[in-house]
Structure 1
Amino acid sequence: MEKKRTEAGSTSARGLATRRRLIEATARLCEERPGVEVSVAEIAKAAGVFPNQVTYHFGSKDSLLVHAAFLGLLHDARRIERIGRQAPDAAAFRRNIARAVLAMPSLPSVARALAAGIAKPELAPVVDQHLRLLFRQSERFVGRLADSRGWKADRPLGVEVRTFWSTALGAVLLVRAGAHGTNADLDLAGALTIHDARAATQPE
């Protein structure tokens, strides 16, 4: 019995490792070749696994692409956090975060993932899972930074981060749908209400 449990645990660990390699390899390929379709064979080769492992672990290539897109987004979000910490004040934080988010390499892949979630209902729960993780991570980061700097938002932080990311991702979807315009046409910083509460309360 103990041997069977050990073997099951080993198999589970190998499966998780394979899933991780597939997601990381796909994210890397998508970042290296933005806008270019990658094949199952290319993904499998980059991950060092057999092509049938894609459907075995994810059900479809589209599901794997969604996982990979959001892995890239979370990696980019961590880099964005470093930029946010360097801001000397709340106004600079809003500007710098907005500029950096619109330049994230993962955005095209995430736009495709969102479109896939709309077109294929079976992928919607996967998209929702990753968005919830993104929102939680962002809310935790903004909350800690705001507390340490004496900053405040004009609304609950959960609403703040959802509004910000919805604006950013919505803009990418509009461009993907053929809308004309550039990043200069979007006031993403205006989607943030973070401000320096201490400065606001000082007497004139």
Structure 2
Amino acid sequence: MMQEARRAARATRESGRQTRDALLAAATDLFLEHGDGVPITQICAAAGAHPNQVTYYFGSKERLFVEVACAAVLRAGKRAEDDAAAAETVGDYTEKLVGSLLGPGGPSVELFVEAMLMTGRRGELREHITDTLRTLHSSGENALIRTLMRTGWQLRAGIDVEAKAFWSAIFGLAIQKTATGESFGYSLGEAVAVIFASLRIPESVRESTL
């Protein structure tokens, strides 16, 4: 009797995980394509779930949106690091990193910007955003700043401050891209110049070999 109850409990938990994962997958696709205006009914239809299950597993549509946005920007950051890993110079490294974040990773970065703005109005969502920013900044220390330090470039501020400056510049560029509807494909050099200026990296470092 007890074993049957345990099996039933395991089956219920597994079914719950599958439903939650299905909602996350459907919400990720729809939010990346349409932003936070997607209705819950559309997400649930794509996931084969019911609207009350969004409330049960996530608390609200807004919390689901924030969770999706945080996961998306972390994936974009990791993909950008992988894209830039084979670069031979600082300039090439930065172009690949920025190009990935504002190109293929652009929708994910823009989604996270939306989530940050939403959090400003919904304080209960702040913790997830804060944790994600902390992870991005920590990753930035390794992905960009320490790479530049290998060239002999001297930091003008603490490594944590420089990592925050990098992501602040990326978010600012993403907001401009969203506002103007323009692609950064033709002006990647300008975007990289913004990053260099934000971090106060001298042009002489650009051609340094990694």
TM-score by length of 1: 0.74
Aligned residue for 1:29?
30
1:2-13 mapped onto 2 (5 Å cutoff)? 7-13=8-14
Aligned residue for 1:44?
44
> Which residues of structure 1 form unaligned runs of 5+?
none
1:156 Cα deviation from its structure 2 partner: 4.7
Distance 2:135 2:13 in 1: 23
**Once superposed, what is the RMSD of the aligned Cα atoms?**
3.6
Cα gap change, 1:114/1:86 in structure 2, threshold over 3 Å: closer, same or farther? same
Contact 2:166-2:195 at 8 Å conserved across structures: yes
TM-score by length of 2: 0.72
1:62 Cα deviation from its structure 2 partner: 0.6
Moved more, 99-108 or 9-18: 9-18
Distance 2:15 2:134 in 1: 27
Cα gap change, 1:67/1:2 in structure 2, threshold over 3 Å: closer, same or farther? same
1:86 Cα deviation from its structure 2 partner: 2.3
Contact 1:74-1:134 at 8 Å conserved across structures: yes
1:30 Cα deviation from its structure 2 partner: 1.9
Aligned residue for 1:62?
62
1:88-127 mapped onto 2 (5 Å cutoff)? 88-103=88-103, 104-127=106-129
* AA aligned opposite 1:81: E
Distance 1:21 1:141 in 2: 32
* AA aligned opposite 1:55: T
Distance 2:96 2:197 in 1: 12
> Which residues of structure 2 form unaligned runs of 5+?
none
Moved more, 131-140 or 74-83: 131-140
Distance 1:142 1:5 in 2: 49
* Percent of residue pairs identical: 26
